Amino acid sequence: MKSSIERRLRHWYLLLITGVIFTILSIWVFFTPIASFLALAWVISIGFVIGGISEIAYSISNRKHLKSWGWYLTGGIITLILGLHLSLRPGLTALILCYYIGFWLLFRSILEITNSFELKRYRVKNWGWVLTFGILGALISLILLWNPVITSVAVIYWLGIGLLIFGLLQIVLAFGLRKIRNKIEDIREDFEELDFD
Protein backbone atom coordinates (compact mmCIF):
# COMPACT_ATOMS: atom_id res chain seq x y z
CA MET A 1 0.00 0.00 0.00
CA LYS A 2 1.38 3.38 -0.98
CA SER A 3 2.00 6.01 1.67
CA SER A 4 0.30 9.39 1.56
CA ILE A 5 3.67 11.03 0.86
CA GLU A 6 4.16 8.79 -2.16
CA ARG A 7 0.71 9.56 -3.49
CA ARG A 8 1.28 13.29 -3.23
CA LEU A 9 4.35 12.99 -5.44
CA ARG A 10 2.62 11.26 -8.33
CA HIS A 11 2.42 13.06 -11.64
CA TRP A 12 5.68 14.92 -10.96
CA TYR A 13 6.27 14.76 -14.70
CA LEU A 14 3.56 17.39 -15.29
CA LEU A 15 5.88 19.96 -13.73
CA LEU A 16 8.65 18.64 -15.98
CA ILE A 17 6.40 19.19 -19.02
CA THR A 18 5.67 22.74 -17.83
CA GLY A 19 9.40 23.39 -17.41
CA VAL A 20 10.25 22.04 -20.85
CA ILE A 21 7.49 24.15 -22.45
CA PHE A 22 8.76 27.34 -20.84
CA THR A 23 12.39 26.52 -21.66
CA ILE A 24 11.42 26.02 -25.31
CA LEU A 25 9.47 29.29 -25.18
CA SER A 26 12.56 31.09 -23.89
CA ILE A 27 14.64 29.72 -26.77
CA TRP A 28 11.93 30.84 -29.19
CA VAL A 29 12.03 34.31 -27.63
CA PHE A 30 15.79 34.62 -28.16
CA PHE A 31 15.53 33.64 -31.83
CA THR A 32 12.42 35.64 -32.71
CA PRO A 33 13.14 38.89 -34.52
CA ILE A 34 11.58 42.13 -33.31
CA ALA A 35 9.45 42.33 -36.46
CA SER A 36 7.49 39.27 -35.33
CA PHE A 37 6.64 40.55 -31.85
CA LEU A 38 2.94 39.74 -32.42
CA ALA A 39 3.89 36.18 -33.31
CA LEU A 40 5.99 36.08 -30.16
CA ALA A 41 3.02 37.22 -28.06
CA TRP A 42 0.85 34.53 -29.69
CA VAL A 43 3.42 31.76 -29.07
CA ILE A 44 3.86 32.91 -25.47
CA SER A 45 0.10 32.90 -24.91
CA ILE A 46 -0.21 29.34 -26.25
CA GLY A 47 2.67 28.23 -24.03
CA PHE A 48 1.01 29.85 -21.02
CA VAL A 49 -2.30 28.12 -21.78
CA ILE A 50 -0.65 24.68 -22.07
CA GLY A 51 1.57 25.30 -19.03
CA GLY A 52 -1.41 26.49 -16.97
CA ILE A 53 -3.50 23.46 -17.89
CA SER A 54 -0.59 21.15 -17.05
CA GLU A 55 -0.12 22.71 -13.62
CA ILE A 56 -3.86 22.70 -12.88
CA ALA A 57 -3.93 18.97 -13.73
CA TYR A 58 -0.96 18.37 -11.41
CA SER A 59 -2.54 20.24 -8.50
CA ILE A 60 -5.97 18.59 -8.87
CA SER A 61 -4.51 15.10 -9.16
CA ASN A 62 -2.64 15.67 -5.88
CA ARG A 63 -5.25 17.73 -4.00
CA LYS A 64 -5.83 15.10 -1.29
CA HIS A 65 -2.17 14.52 -0.56
CA LEU A 66 -0.24 17.69 -1.45
CA LYS A 67 -0.32 20.26 1.35
CA SER A 68 0.32 23.20 -0.99
CA TRP A 69 -1.87 21.96 -3.87
CA GLY A 70 -3.94 25.14 -3.70
CA TRP A 71 -0.90 27.27 -4.51
CA TYR A 72 -0.14 25.10 -7.53
CA LEU A 73 -3.78 25.38 -8.59
CA THR A 74 -3.69 29.16 -8.14
CA GLY A 75 -0.47 29.42 -10.14
CA GLY A 76 -1.90 27.24 -12.90
CA ILE A 77 -5.12 29.27 -13.06
CA ILE A 78 -3.20 32.56 -13.19
CA THR A 79 -0.97 31.17 -15.94
CA LEU A 80 -4.01 29.91 -17.89
CA ILE A 81 -5.92 33.20 -17.55
CA LEU A 82 -2.84 35.16 -18.59
CA GLY A 83 -2.38 32.91 -21.63
CA LEU A 84 -6.04 33.25 -22.64
CA HIS A 85 -5.96 37.03 -22.19
CA LEU A 86 -2.79 37.35 -24.25
CA SER A 87 -4.23 35.14 -27.01
CA LEU A 88 -7.39 37.28 -27.20
CA ARG A 89 -5.35 40.52 -27.35
CA PRO A 90 -2.35 39.82 -29.57
CA GLY A 91 -1.80 43.51 -30.19
CA LEU A 92 -0.63 44.19 -26.63
CA THR A 93 2.26 46.58 -26.48
CA ALA A 94 5.66 45.60 -25.12
CA LEU A 95 4.96 47.74 -22.04
CA ILE A 96 1.75 45.88 -21.11
CA LEU A 97 3.31 42.52 -21.91
CA CYS A 98 6.21 43.34 -19.57
CA TYR A 99 3.81 44.16 -16.75
CA TYR A 100 1.91 40.91 -17.28
CA ILE A 101 5.05 38.82 -17.42
CA GLY A 102 6.64 40.75 -14.54
CA PHE A 103 3.75 40.18 -12.13
CA TRP A 104 3.32 36.57 -13.24
CA LEU A 105 7.04 35.84 -12.84
CA LEU A 106 7.13 37.53 -9.41
CA PHE A 107 4.23 35.40 -8.14
CA ARG A 108 5.71 32.19 -9.54
CA SER A 109 9.19 32.97 -8.20
CA ILE A 110 7.90 33.54 -4.67
CA LEU A 111 5.99 30.25 -4.91
CA GLU A 112 9.14 28.40 -5.98
CA ILE A 113 11.22 30.00 -3.21
CA THR A 114 8.77 28.54 -0.68
CA ASN A 115 8.83 25.18 -2.52
CA SER A 116 12.63 25.09 -2.21
CA PHE A 117 12.35 25.03 1.58
CA GLU A 118 9.89 22.13 1.37
CA LEU A 119 12.43 20.24 -0.76
CA LYS A 120 15.09 21.06 1.84
CA ARG A 121 12.86 19.59 4.52
CA TYR A 122 12.78 16.31 2.54
CA ARG A 123 16.60 16.49 2.22
CA VAL A 124 16.64 16.85 -1.55
CA LYS A 125 20.17 17.94 -2.48
CA ASN A 126 19.21 20.27 -5.34
CA TRP A 127 16.80 22.38 -3.24
CA GLY A 128 19.35 25.19 -3.45
CA TRP A 129 18.95 25.36 -7.22
CA VAL A 130 15.20 25.81 -6.85
CA LEU A 131 15.86 28.60 -4.33
CA THR A 132 18.48 30.20 -6.63
CA PHE A 133 16.21 30.11 -9.69
CA GLY A 134 13.33 31.46 -7.59
CA ILE A 135 15.44 34.40 -6.41
CA LEU A 136 16.73 35.06 -9.95
CA GLY A 137 13.17 34.95 -11.27
CA ALA A 138 12.06 37.45 -8.62
CA LEU A 139 14.93 39.78 -9.51
CA ILE A 140 14.11 39.59 -13.24
CA SER A 141 10.44 40.27 -12.49
CA LEU A 142 11.35 43.33 -10.42
CA ILE A 143 13.50 44.65 -13.28
CA LEU A 144 10.58 44.17 -15.71
CA LEU A 145 8.19 45.96 -13.33
CA TRP A 146 10.63 48.72 -12.36
CA ASN A 147 11.66 49.77 -15.86
CA PRO A 148 9.16 48.51 -18.45
CA VAL A 149 9.82 51.41 -20.84
CA ILE A 150 12.84 49.83 -22.46
CA THR A 151 13.54 48.99 -26.06
CA SER A 152 11.80 46.15 -27.84
CA VAL A 153 15.05 44.22 -28.08
CA ALA A 154 15.61 44.48 -24.33
CA VAL A 155 11.99 43.42 -23.72
CA ILE A 156 12.47 40.30 -25.80
CA TYR A 157 15.72 39.36 -24.04
CA TRP A 158 14.38 40.05 -20.55
CA LEU A 159 11.28 37.99 -21.31
CA GLY A 160 13.47 35.21 -22.67
CA ILE A 161 15.66 35.21 -19.57
CA GLY A 162 12.61 35.19 -17.28
CA LEU A 163 10.97 32.33 -19.16
CA LEU A 164 14.23 30.37 -19.19
CA ILE A 165 14.68 30.75 -15.44
CA PHE A 166 11.10 29.65 -14.78
CA GLY A 167 11.39 26.69 -17.14
CA LEU A 168 14.65 25.49 -15.58
CA LEU A 169 13.19 25.98 -12.12
CA GLN A 170 10.20 23.78 -12.93
CA ILE A 171 12.50 21.08 -14.38
CA VAL A 172 14.72 21.08 -11.28
CA LEU A 173 11.64 20.98 -9.03
CA ALA A 174 10.15 18.07 -10.98
CA PHE A 175 13.33 16.00 -10.67
CA GLY A 176 13.50 16.89 -6.97
CA LEU A 177 9.99 15.51 -6.49
CA ARG A 178 10.93 12.39 -8.46
CA LYS A 179 13.99 11.90 -6.25
CA ILE A 180 11.82 12.08 -3.11
CA ARG A 181 9.45 9.52 -4.61
CA ASN A 182 12.32 7.17 -5.50
CA LYS A 183 13.75 7.43 -1.97
CA ILE A 184 10.37 6.48 -0.53
CA GLU A 185 10.14 3.47 -2.86
CA ASP A 186 13.66 2.35 -1.88
CA ILE A 187 12.83 2.61 1.82
CA ARG A 188 9.64 0.61 1.31
CA GLU A 189 11.50 -2.11 -0.61
CA ASP A 190 14.19 -2.31 2.10
CA PHE A 191 11.52 -2.53 4.77
CA GLU A 192 9.67 -5.32 2.95
CA GLU A 193 12.92 -7.33 2.67
CA LEU A 194 13.44 -7.30 6.42
CA ASP A 195 12.69 -10.60 8.11
CA PHE A 196 11.00 -10.08 11.47
CA ASP A 197 10.78 -13.81 12.29
Instruction: List the domain boundaries for the chain.
Output: 4-190
Distance from C-alpha of 161 to C-alpha of 184, rounded to nearest angstrom: 35
Counting residues of the chain whose pLDDT is more than 90, the rounded percentage is 9
Rounded to 10 degrees, the C-alpha dihedral 61/137/110/14 comes to 0
Q: What is the pLDDT of residues 46-55, one digit of tens each?
A: 888 998 998 8
All residues at 6 or more sequence positions from 13 whose CB lies less than 8 Å from its CB, including other chains: 174, 178
- Give the length of the chain: 197
Indicate the pTM of the whole model.
Answer: 0.59
The pLDDT-based confidence of 135 (bands split at 50, 70, 90) is: very high
Q: What is the pLDDT of residues 70-84, one digit of tens each?
A: 888 998 999 899 888
3/129: higher pLDDT: 129
